[in-house]
Amino acid sequence: MKHITIKEVAEALNCSISTVSRAFNNKSEIHPDTRERVLQVAAKMGYHPNPIARKLTQQRSYNVGVVVPEFLNPFFPEVIMGIQDVLLEKGYQVLIMQSNENDETEQKNLKTLEDNFVDGIILSLTQESKNINYLQHLINKNYPLVLFNRTNESLTVSKVLFDDYKWALFATEHLIQQGLKELVHIAGKSHLTLSKKRKQGFIDAHRKHKLPVDSSKIIETGFLVEDGIRTVMELIDNDTLPEGFFCVNDATAMGAIKALKKNGYKVPQDIAIMGFTDTPVSSMIEPPLSSVVQPSRQMGEVAAELLLRQIESKSIVIPETVVLSGSLKVRESSVKL
Instruction: Quote the pLDDT of residue 51.
Output: 58
Give the residues across from 220 on adjacent strands. Answer: 187
Amino acid at 273: I
- How far apart are the C-alpha atoms of 268 and 335, rounded to whole Å? 6
Sequential pLDDT tens for the chain (337 residues): 567 888 888 988 898 988 888 888 777 678 888 889 999 998 888 887 765 555 545 567 899 999 999 998 889 999 999 999 999 999 899 999 999 999 999 999 999 999 998 999 999 999 887 889 999 999 999 999 999 999 998 999 999 999 999 999 999 999 999 999 999 999 999 989 999 999 999 999 999 999 999 999 999 999 999 999 999 999 999 999 999 999 999 999 999 999 999 999 999 999 999 999 999 999 999 999 999 999 999 999 999 999 999 999 878 889 999 999 999 999 999 998 7
Instruction: Quote the pLDDT of residue 29.
Output: 78
Instruction: Quote the pLDDT of residue 50.
Output: 64
Cis peptide before 268 (omega within 30 of 0): yes
Instruction: Quote the pLDDT of residue 56.
Output: 47
Angle, CA of 330, 333 and 337, to the nearest 5°? 95
Angle, CA of 252, 256 and 261, to the nearest 5°? 150
Tally of CA atoms within 13 A in the half-sphere of 237 that contains its CB: 6
Structural domains present in the chain: 6-57 (1.10.260.40), 62-161+296-325 (3.40.50.2300), 164-294 (3.40.50.2300)
- How far apart are the C-alpha atoms of 125 and 70, rounded to whole Å? 10
Instruction: Quote the pLDDT of residue 61.
Output: 84
Instruction: Quote the pLDDT of residue 240.
Output: 96
DSSP 69: S
- How far apart are the C-alpha atoms of 159 and 149, rounded to whole Å? 8
H/E stretch holding 27:
none
Are 83 and 300 within 8 A, CB to CB? yes
**Alpha carbon 259 to chain centroid, angstroms:** 28
- How far apart are the C-alpha atoms of 224 and 256, rounded to whole Å? 11
- How far apart are the C-alpha atoms of 205 and 38, rounded to whole Å? 60
Cβ neighbours of residue 285 closer than 8 Å, sequence gap 6 or more:
254, 257
- How far apart are the C-alpha atoms of 183 and 220, rounded to whole Å? 14
Are 198 and 188 within 8 A, CB to CB? yes
- DSSP codes, 125-180: --TT---HHHHHHHHHTT--EEEESS--TT--SEEEEE-HHHHHHHHHHHHHHTT-
Helix (H, G, I), strand (E, B) or coil at 273: strand
Question: In the chain, which residue ranges form alpha helices assigned H by DSSP?
Answer: 6-13, 17-24, 32-45, 51-58, 75-87, 103-115, 132-140, 164-177, 193-208, 225-237, 250-262, 296-312
Closest CA to 122 of 86, 90, 91, 176: 86
